[in-house]
Amino acid sequence: MWQPFTEEHEQFRKLVRDFAEKELAPKAEEWEEAELFPNEVFRRAGELGILGAHYPEAHGGSGGDYWYSVAKAEELPRCRSAGVTMGLLVQSDMATPVIGDLGTKEQIDEFLAPALAGEKVAALGISEPGAGSDVAGIRTHARKDGDDYVLNGQKTFITNGTRADFVTLLAKTLPERGAYGCSFFLVPTNLAGFSVARKLKKIGNKASDTAELFLEDLRVPKRYLLGEENQGFMYLMQNFQSERLIGSASALMGAFYALEFSVAYGRERTAFGKPIIKREVWQHKFVDLYTKCEAAKAFVYKCVDRYNDERYVKQEQVSLETVKLISMAKILVGDLVSEVMDSCLQFHGGWGYIEEYPIARAWRDARLFRIGGGTSETMRYYLAKLMGL
């Protein structure tokens, strides 16, 4: 049987599991109530080597392959707070990969290495009030002025946004070219003209901070342009693959955990004289859900294997075939996770609707996955184009 994880991967998995269960989970309730987890979590994750395991040593990482990131994404949900998991994954797999791909040595030393060490908090600035999944519709623009770019605009739905030390931000540098006139910038949040307009209140993932940001005549030195000017959209499409793939792996494992604690609940909860897990209707339901999750896991692993081979072994760009498969995986996992969470909440009956039971939070938190990183509808639209439909 094919086994992608080596003994070293499994040792790393245990490290992340212990971190999640012993250091994070005991504080999950407190952080959910506060709607924020402390920056110390980033520093501790960096100290343990969790954030940079799949980055080259020259970038401040441990030199591992992408399977290390998958192991991390699968174990972090054991912390029992999707907000904490999301904040850490944005730090390591969404706001920073593009820096590793494109950054100069100076940019890597100033931004990426401290982020992987947990010393600087990173955010990804793409979405805007009028442009979410439709990236081409962004209106934030950057105008050259001597040795600087002057940025004006607004970003929203930005995870880690209230406390980020820098934002990996997309802006239009050639607006008349639409999506193909965008550029990436590394934007320190201590620059004049940067402000956090407000912290957004969400229905789930409450321990993570989500912000609306304003940029008003914000001057960014040319040395903070990431990659080539006007190539940002192409860079983003590559960066999205890591975001969608690691999100799929994490969300799917969250579904497995929901099944796990629901079955445990069903062994203890009795109705009409016997444990509810002994009711045939629920036994069949759980068999079906476990089967679907195992099938989805095999498909996600197929995508990871292709992505790892192209990006880490061959050090190439992600192929269109792999992009297609990753988009399919995101759709598949998004729909399946919603089904799992809804079924598990129903299984808990009235208690599933009570905050003190973990399924209530899991149900709320999981809903984001069909929206974030590209809605399921956008994925289907994009796939239809790729497939010539």
Catalytic center residues: 243
What residues contact residue 264 under an 8 Å CB cut-off, 6+ apart? none
Identify the residue whose tokens are 């901070």.
Answer: 209
Q: How many helices (H) and strands (E) does the chain have?
A: 13, 10
* Whole-number Å distance between alpha carbons of 295 and 275: 28
* Whole-number Å distance between alpha carbons of 88 and 72: 10
Please check whether residue 204 is in contact with residue 365, taking contact to mean a CB–CB distance below 8 angstroms: yes
Produce one character per residue of 205-219: b if its CB has 16 or more CB atoms within 10 Å, e if not: bbbbbbbbbbbeebe
Q: Measuring CA to CA, which residue among 257, 280, 267 is closest to residue 365? A: 257
Q: What is the DSSP letter of 95?
A: S
Q: Is the dihedral of CA 284, 288, 289, 293 positive or negative?
A: positive
Q: Cβ–Cβ contacts within 10 Å for residue 167, how many?
A: 26
Q: Measuring CA to CA, which residue among 189, 194, 171 is closest to residue 181? A: 171
Half-sphere exposure of 309 (CA within 13 A, CB side): 9
Identify the residue whose tokens are 């149900």.
Answer: 363
